Amino acid sequence: SLLDRKQHHPGPPHHIYVIIWDNVRFHRTNQIREWFTTNSNQFLNVCLPPYSPFLNPIEEFFSSWRWKVYDRQPYTRENLLRAMELACVDIPVEAFQGWIRHSRAFFPRCLARDNIACDVDEVMWPDAAQRHDAAQ
């Protein structure tokens, strides 16, 4: 795995890698928790709050990637795999940099536990009572 390879090629002494994950179930398995406990001197595992895709740049990538794949109209498995591969090349580095900047802009306010509900896409909030666009 990527983390095992990084463990065998450590960075500078006292360097700690922070791994930020969303709340996908497999990120919280016993095997993953045990690995981070065993390697806590070099790695720190931090999970994002639930329902916070705006804090995770990979979600923006998945959205962009999906539309670029759809644009190629793949109708067979082979065409789909090729379209997925080509779509990755179509996404410029600047897009990734923008997604990271966008996510990072929310970090200080999230850490301060500010209410940022009005600053993100309200459709992402699961509780309709908290949404400003919910029917009154």
Average pLDDT of span 5-25: 75
Per-residue pLDDT, 61: 93
| Portion of the chain with pLDDT greater than 90, in percent | 30
The C-alpha atoms of residue 136 and residue 117 are separated, in whole angstroms, by 17
Instruction: Give CA angle at 109 (106, 114), nearest 5°.
Output: 125
* Average confidence score pLDDT of the chain: 82
Under 8 Å CB-to-CB from 8, ≥6 apart: which residues? none
pTM above 0.95, yes or no: no
Question: pLDDT tens digits, residue range 22-80?
Answer: 888 888 899 988 988 898 888 888 888 887 888 889 989 999 999 999 999 998 988 99
The C-alpha atoms of residue 10 and residue 76 are separated, in whole angstroms, by 42
**43-47 and 17-21 beta bridge pairing:** parallel
| Portion of the chain with pLDDT greater than 70, in percent | 75
Per-residue pLDDT, 8: 64
- Measuring CA to CA, which residue among 33, 47, 25, 48 is closest to residue 3? 33
Confidence of residue 96 (pLDDT cuts 50, 70, 90): very high
